[in-house]
Amino acid sequence: MSNKYNPGDVVYLRESAAIGTLEAVKISGAHLGSNGWMYSIDSSLSPPSMGGAMERRSQISTQTLYYTEDEFLLLCDALVLVEANAKAAYERAKAQRQKFCPDNPTEG
C-alpha cells in the first residue's frame, strides 16, 4: 500500500473546502499506521486570519496532529468543492431575494 501524499506536498483540507475556504497545508511526514497512511502537517502555509479548521486545530496544543488521506484534497478537487459551495450560497441568496424583494427582479 503506497502513500498518496509525500513530505513537501501541498494539499488542501477537505473540511475547509466543503465550507468554501481554500486552506493549504504542507505534508511534513507520512507513516503507515494500523488504519492506513497517517500524515503530519506543517501549518505555516495557513494564515491565522483565515479562521478555518487549521486555526482551530493549532490552538489545541503544540503536539503533532495526524490526518488520514481522506482529510486532504489536491487543488483541483478542493476548487470543485469551493465552487459547489459558492453556487449553493448563490442559489440560497437568489431564493431569499426573490422571496423578500419581489419588486427587484434584477439578475446579479
Containing domain of residue 79, as a range?
10-100
The beta strands (E) that lie in 5-104 are given as 10-13, 24-33, 36-42, 66-68, 72-73
- Residue 22 placed within a domain: yes
Evaluate if pTM is beyond 0.95: no
Q: Would you say residue 2 lies in a domain? A: no
Per the DSSP assignment, residues forming a β-bridge with 97 are none
pLDDT in tens, 48-84: 444 556 555 555 545 678 899 999 999 999 999 999 9
Whether residue 44 lies inside any domain: the answer is yes
Residue 63 lies in a domain: yes
The answer to whether position 107 is within a domain reads no
Does residue 28 form part of some domain? yes
Domain count of the chain? 1
pLDDT digits (tens, 9 = 90+) for 16-55: 999 999 999 999 999 998 889 999 997 665 544 445 565 5
As a residue count, the chain comes to 108
Q: How far apart are CA 27 and CA 67, in angstroms?
A: 10
Give the strands of the sheet with 66-68, arranged side by side.
66-68, 36-42, 24-33, 10-13, 72-73
Q: Establish if 5 belongs to a structural domain.
A: no
